Amino acid sequence: MIKIKTDTRLFDTGMIKMATAAVQGTKQGMTQAMRRFKSDALNKPPSCPVKTGWLAAHHVTTVEVMGKRVRGELTVIDTPYAASLHEGISRWGTPYVYTKPGSGMKWIQSKVLMYRDKYTQDEVAGFVTGLKSVSFGRFAKGFGALGQVVSGAGAGAGAGIIGIGAVIGLGALSIAEGLIGNQQSQGNK
Amino acid sequence: MSLVQDIVTYIEANSALVSDVDLFVGAETVDTPSGSVIVREFMGSTENWSGLQDRAIQILAMDLGYVNAEMLINTVYDLLKHKPGFASDDLVDILYVDVLGMPGYVDRDQSGNFVFSCNLIFRKK
């Protein structure tokens, strides 16, 4: 009789490490994506309207981890007129005139549509970097190959990228919603 | 015709709104009445190598009554959201209408109208 005993404890530990590293890597990638998103919103046409500089100075990005989800937000704070300016409607008694060349309405939402692929790439880069950084102890050689597959153009990597792309897409949409929601509450005060 | 004009034609055919009376293309006019809807395209539309277009469309509804404005925007929103194409001779080649921003109150305009806005992405070939 042949008895085969398998000890998966190290494998389990490795998988936990990998899951943690993936979230941390994604968080870093999201931070980079949000930095780029904010820069695009402020500088690329249609860029953020500037008169006194208050509006542009009050764009704030945050990245938070909720379980295995990473969420990024770009919010405009303490600026009650931001929502109407962003939506391009003239406010009570004060029709808007965009004085800065290249600036205009939808300076945030338009970037979600125009540059979402770049933001997704930042995200994926962070995710892959996170996985590559994982050390698997004495299984290092065996799992090292997994890192290579993920960073290459393998099917595994492809699936990962598609999954993250969907999450980012939703995150990016909620970014603009966050701004509007915030300004609604500001305006209602 | 332009996509925005086609959308307006579709809304007119499927609601009580009337073009150039309380349904406008592009922007509000000087004497835009209370109870109006405006359809316009904003920057951010893209087209990829295969010819697939993502067209960024904004719907604005304005009324002197808050509830009326909200009802108005929801009427148009329900007419367009998440539609995989339209049974219309005007609005053709639409693959899907995605929601970029759900209807939400923005502010009041210079006439005192409550303004609601929603943003849609028309995926078009």
Q: In the numeric block, which tokens belong to residue A84?
A: 């109407």
Q: In the numeric block, which tokens belong to residue B66?
A: 């808050």
Q: Number of structural domains, chain B?
A: 1
Average pLDDT over chain B, rounded to an integer = 90
Counting as low any pLDDT under 70, the low residues of chain B are: 1, 29-31
Give residue A93's pLDDT.
57
Q: In this complex, is the C-beta atom of B26 within 8 Å of any C-beta atom belonging to chain A?
A: no
Nearest residue, CB atoms, B106 vs list A84, A113, A114: A84
Average pLDDT over chain A, rounded to an integer = 74
Instruction: Classify burial at B121, counting beta carbons within 10 Å of its beta carbon; exposed 0-12, middle 13-18, buried 19 or more.
Output: buried
| Domain locations along chain A | 24-188
Q: What percent of chain A has pLDDT over 70?
A: 69
Give residue B117's pLDDT.
94
Are A123 and A33 contacting, i.e. CB atoms less than 8 angstroms apart? yes
Looking at the predicted structure, is the pLDDT value of residue A140 above 60? no
| Residue of A113, A188, A189 for testing the chain B interface, max B β-carbons within 10 Å | A113
A177 CB neighbour count, 10 Å cutoff: 17
> Looking at chain A, which residue has its C-alpha nearest residue B40?
A88
ipTM of the shown complex: 0.86
A122 CB neighbour count, 10 Å cutoff: 20
Residues of chain B positioned with their CB less than 8 A from the CB of A105? 42
CATH of the domain at B115: 3.30.2000.10
Closest CA to B31 of B108, B110, B116: B110
Looking at the predicted structure, is the pLDDT value of residue A35 above 90? yes
d(CA A61, CA B69) in angstroms, rounded, equals 32
Choice among A18-22, A61-65, A161-165 with the minimum mean pLDDT: A161-165
d(CA A65, CA A18) in angstroms, rounded, equals 16
Q: What is the mean pLDDT of residues A128-153?
A: 58
Range of the domain at B15: 3-124
> Looking at chain B, which residue has its C-alpha nearest residue A94?
B110
Looking at the predicted structure, is the pLDDT value of residue A168 above 90? no
Check B117 against A89: CB less than 8 A apart.
Answer: yes
Give residue B30's pLDDT.
65
How many helices and strands (H and E) does chain B possess? 2, 6
